A and B are shown apart, each in its own frame.
Chain A
Amino acid sequence: MTHHPKERPNSLSRRGFLLRSAGAAAAFSGVDGLLAACGNTTSVPQGLAGPGGLPLARPDKRVTLPRWEDPIKSGLKPETGGTFTVFNYPSYLYKKVLNDFGAKYGVQVQYTPFDNVNSGLQRLASGGVTPDVMEITPDTLDIGVAGKLIKPLNLDYIPNLQKNIWPQLVDPFYDGESRYTVPYTCYATGIAWRADQIKKDIAGMDQPWDIFWESQAYKGKVALLSENRETIGMALLRKGITDINTEDPALVNQAVSDLKELYAVCNIKVDDLQYQTVPEGSSWLHQAWSGDMIAGYIYYLPKGTPASALAYWKAPRGKVPVQSDCFAICSTTKKPVLSHLFLNYLLDNGVAYENFVDFNGYQPPLNEIDPSTLVQKGVVPENLANSVLTNDDFGPDSLQYGTLTSRGQQLWEDGYSNFLAGGGS
């Protein structure tokens, strides 16, 4: 999966079920049921399936996930009192937004962080946490559904989805009919650099990703994201391979081999601190998510350093990986109605904008947000306007990291392990 920088108690029956099935996911009777319920809009690559045997969603292969239980009925009153728990990356949601929600509905809002969505789902399945809502990503969605860890939504409670959110993400390819998720933030993967240190016209290069292989002069100041999908995916894109969900060992191994060349070129580093290190100047060239530069400009650019010192490039649609982080309701919730209202609350124009501009730096996919408005308001400097995404960045011909088969995930993880080991390039 692609991790984000901010980088139901598992029922005995399900656990017993898993063990009895001797690991053959597709053989689970529950999963068979789920598969049988998949809509016609789904497209399963021949012989390939994701966790639990669910079809693999791709931007050009929409999947409508089966509901493993009925959503709650419409018109119910929200639960009040007690604690409402949000399970998310650390520091990825504005405390004021949470407190305001708690005050509005008379609950104490608790924020429980996880390292990444995968480990968060594992904690959820183990019963170690019992949150009401959690962040989830499109490439981990299958795990949440197949594991019955997240609940189907009743969109009657979430009118802001239709009203405020980009059409491409109202009924997204990874979750047709928005049966389980609503979008939270969106971002693209590109290159961030210090324009005051690197004079080369990176955006004007035939293949801007080549800059990492031509970065001898910036040795020690060059870094890639610390994520297996992003690093290997970038090496694939550099070679013109746009299938960033490939499970071809030859392609993945070649990408890893290319990445290892960077040891000698620039003593490449890996970290997810680009939103801080680039503005502060300790990193000059960094693979980065678009939101990093907005957050970096807002929070980390030292006084006296002009915004023009920061630069960001992302490829045009069809060549740039774009992602959307989502929110879902956990099966552990004791407040299902309130959880729906929380999702609706997050999609409120005012709330989403406040969370974005006053805290997060990662933009919500709101219709009312567009690059020129943000530049006019001074939220984003003009030279970073290209780090703001629009509805047009998403669509069937866009690139998104999707769920891989179990074998594919192992291939990418082992490839990244090879790169991270720093052995013979």
Chain B
Amino acid sequence: MYRRWLWPGLALPGVLWLVLLFVVPFYAVLGVALGKVDPILFQPVPIWNPLEWNVGWLNEVLSRLAPGGIWFDVGVRTIVYVLVSLALCLLIGYPVAYYAARHAGRWKGVILILIILPLWISYMMRMLAWVNLLQADGYVNRFLMFTHVLSQPRDWLGGSASTVIFALVYGYIPYLILPLFASLDRIDRSHLEAARDLGASPWSAFRTVTLPLSKTGILGGAVLITLPMFGDYYTPNIVSGSPKTSMIGNQIDLYFHGGPQPTIGAALTIVLAAFLTILMLYYMWSIHRAQREVGAVGAL
């Protein structure tokens, strides 16, 4: 009897945590998105009874996001920015994590600290630091002109998509590297040795053994950074400020900023959450499949 309740009991704090800090707040957002607005203060008046929910705001948000709607472009732009940033994070982060896990030796700890170090400073402060560095007469332009990469200063902060994507990559890449490192560090070297003994080239061994075995780390890291990126609004605000580089999070921010339609902001949050849930389901399915593959490799 004691053993029967021991292991589920250990999960209890986590379950309580999820209920208090995820399920309840999410239901509150749902109640706001499908609720009413106080006509004087424009405060949301949540409706808790699902039978009384008003889907009007949700329909309004969906129509704005549909092709031809006023948010279609910003929705597509957000997806593109996040995908490009994710690809760049993987291109830069995977080799770093690989090196740290497999070849850094006694420097492994130092490299990990260096990766974590930027996280000791708030995201906002790091972005504001980049605003200074990217000024027309900032150190980035000075360096690039000194090395003759540029002949004249580039207007990095003039509202360009590349700067926003660069900032997203810079801001989120540590969160990708850490799970990737953990995943790569766990790979049993004997698997690689077996591949090489069986005649696989280094590339082939990487492609057929290391990469599949690190898939959970890739997916975990990808989820970890794409979810906040989708809701990000301060990065484009700080390094660009142009409507042409705004993201869907900017719209949520706008409608939650004391205006008369907070329900629109809440409904947009729900739609975004639903979209991310689809991505999460794909992640869970992929993880499940990857674990089965790992099991199969392990059985060999």
Which residues of A line the B interface, CB within 8 A? 1, 18-19, 23-25, 51-52, 115-122, 125-126, 143, 146-147, 219-221, 223, 228, 263, 267-271, 282, 406, 409-410, 413-414, 416-424
B57-72 vs A, CB cutoff 8 Å, 1 = contact: the mask equals 0000000000000111
Q: Is there an interface contact between A263 and B250, defined as CB atoms closer than 8 Å?
A: no
Residue B254 is within 8 A (CB to CB) of chain A in the complex: yes
Residue of A116, A126, A424 near B43 (CB, 8 A) is A126
User: Given known contacts A118-B42, A122-B41, A406-B39, is B74 in contact with A421 (CB within 8 Å)?
Assistant: yes
**Contacts of A24 on B, CB cut-off 8 Å?**
39
User: Given known contacts A282-B157, A417-B255, is B260 in contact with A410 (CB within 8 Å)?
Assistant: yes
- Roughly how many angstroms separate A19 CA and B245 CA in the complex, as a whole number? 40
Residue B45 is within 8 A (CB to CB) of chain A in the complex: yes
B25-38 vs A, CB cutoff 8 Å, 1 = contact: the mask equals 00000000000111
- Roughly how many angstroms separate A120 CA and B38 CA in the complex, as a whole number? 15
Q: Is there an interface contact between B261 and A410, defined as CB atoms closer than 8 Å?
A: yes
Residue B240 is within 8 A (CB to CB) of chain A in the complex: yes
Q: Is there an interface contact between A416 and B254, defined as CB atoms closer than 8 Å?
A: yes
Residue of B37, B40, B135, B251 near A421 (CB, 8 A) is B251
Q: Is there an interface contact between B71 and A221, defined as CB atoms closer than 8 Å?
A: no
Q: Is there an interface contact between B255 and A423, defined as CB atoms closer than 8 Å?
A: no
Q: Is there an interface contact between B74 and A423, defined as CB atoms closer than 8 Å?
A: yes
**Contacts of A147 on B, CB cut-off 8 Å?**
40-41
Q: Is there an interface contact between A418 and B240, defined as CB atoms closer than 8 Å?
A: no
Give chain B interface residues in 199-255, CB to chain A under 8 Å: 237, 240-246, 250-251, 254-255
Among residues of B, the one whose C-beta sits closest to the C-beta of A121 is B41
**Contacts of A421 on B, CB cut-off 8 Å?**
70-71, 73-74, 243, 246, 251
* Chain A to chain B: the 8 pairs with minimum beta-carbon distance, closest first: A220-B158, A118-B258, A423-B73, A119-B258, A422-B243, A269-B241, A25-B39, A409-B260
Residue B142 is within 8 A (CB to CB) of chain A in the complex: no
User: Given known contacts A417-B70, A421-B70, is B258 in contact with A267 (CB within 8 Å)?
Assistant: no
Give chain B interface residues in 66-123, CB to chain A under 8 Å: 70-74, 77
Q: Is there an interface contact between A146 and B246, defined as CB atoms closer than 8 Å?
A: no
Give chain B interface residues in 242-280, CB to chain A under 8 Å: 242-246, 250-251, 254-255, 257-261
Q: Please report whether the interface of chain A is mostly helix, strand, loop or mixed according to DSSP.
A: helix
Q: Is there an interface contact between B260 and A413, defined as CB atoms closer than 8 Å?
A: yes
Q: Please report whether the interface of chain B is mostly helix, strand, loop or mixed according to DSSP.
A: loop
Residue of A1, A51, A120, A271 near B39 (CB, 8 A) is A51
Among residues of B, the one whose C-beta sits closest to the C-beta of A221 is B158
- Roughly how many angstroms separate A210 CA and B73 CA in the complex, as a whole number? 27
Residue B293 is within 8 A (CB to CB) of chain A in the complex: no
Q: Is there an interface contact between A418 and B70, defined as CB atoms closer than 8 Å?
A: yes
Q: Is there an interface contact between A125 and B43, defined as CB atoms closer than 8 Å?
A: yes
A-B contacts besides A51-B42, A420-B246, 5 pairs, CB < 8 Å: A220-B155, A270-B243, A271-B241, A420-B254, A423-B74
Q: Is there an interface contact between A422 and B251, defined as CB atoms closer than 8 Å?
A: no
Ordered by A's residue number, 16 sampled pairs between the chains whose C-beta atoms are within 8 Å are: A18-B45, A19-B45, A25-B39, A51-B40, A51-B42, A117-B258, A143-B40, A268-B159, A269-B241, A271-B237, A414-B70, A417-B251, A420-B246, A420-B250, A422-B242, A422-B246
Residue B136 is within 8 A (CB to CB) of chain A in the complex: yes
Our count of residue pairs bridging A and B at CB distance below 8 angstroms stands at 127
Q: Is there an interface contact between A269 and B240, defined as CB atoms closer than 8 Å?
A: yes
Q: Is there an interface contact between B73 and A424, defined as CB atoms closer than 8 Å?
A: yes
Among residues of B, the one whose C-beta sits closest to the C-beta of A146 is B40
Among residues of B, the one whose C-beta sits closest to the C-beta of A117 is B258
Q: Is there an interface contact between A282 and B243, defined as CB atoms closer than 8 Å?
A: no
**Contacts of A268 on B, CB cut-off 8 Å?**
159, 242-243
A274 to chain B, nearest CB (A): 11
**Contacts of B38 on A, CB cut-off 8 Å?**
18, 23
Which residues of B line the A interface, CB within 8 A? 36-43, 45, 70-74, 77, 135-136, 155, 157-159, 237, 240-246, 250-251, 254-255, 257-261
- Roughly how many angstroms separate A119 CA and B254 CA in the complex, as a whole number? 12
- Roughly how many angstroms separate A122 CA and B155 CA in the complex, as a whole number? 40
**Contacts of A18 on B, CB cut-off 8 Å?**
38-40, 45
Q: Is there an interface contact between A122 and B240, defined as CB atoms closer than 8 Å?
A: no
**Contacts of B70 on A, CB cut-off 8 Å?**
414, 417-418, 421, 423
**Contacts of A413 on B, CB cut-off 8 Å?**
254-255, 259-261
**Contacts of B250 on A, CB cut-off 8 Å?**
420
- Roughly how many angstroms separate A223 CA and B159 CA in the complex, as a whole number? 10
**Contacts of B77 on A, CB cut-off 8 Å?**
422
- Roughly how many angstroms separate A228 CA and B255 CA in the complex, as a whole number? 12
Q: Which of B43, B72, B254 has the most chain A CB atoms closer than 10 A to its own CB? A: B43
**Contacts of B135 on A, CB cut-off 8 Å?**
282
Q: Which of B242, B244, B254 has the most chain A CB atoms closer than 10 A to its own CB? A: B242
Q: Is there an interface contact between B259 and A269, defined as CB atoms closer than 8 Å?
A: no
- Roughly how many angstroms separate A51 CA and B259 CA in the complex, as a whole number? 13
A380 to chain B, nearest CB (A): 28
Q: Is there an interface contact between A420 and B243, defined as CB atoms closer than 8 Å?
A: yes
Among residues of A, the one whose C-beta sits closest to the C-beta of B73 is A423
Q: Is there an interface contact between B40 and A422, defined as CB atoms closer than 8 Å?
A: no
A327 to chain B, nearest CB (A): 19
**Contacts of B260 on A, CB cut-off 8 Å?**
406, 409-410, 413
**Contacts of B251 on A, CB cut-off 8 Å?**
417, 420-421
**Contacts of A115 on B, CB cut-off 8 Å?**
257-258
- Roughly how many angstroms separate A25 CA and B42 CA in the complex, as a whole number? 11
A66 to chain B, nearest CB (A): 14
**Contacts of B159 on A, CB cut-off 8 Å?**
220, 267-269
Q: Which of A25, A220, A409 has the most chain B CB atoms closer than 10 A to its own CB? A: A220
B124 to chain A, nearest CB (A): 14
B120 to chain A, nearest CB (A): 25
- Roughly how many angstroms separate A424 CA and B36 CA in the complex, as a whole number? 31
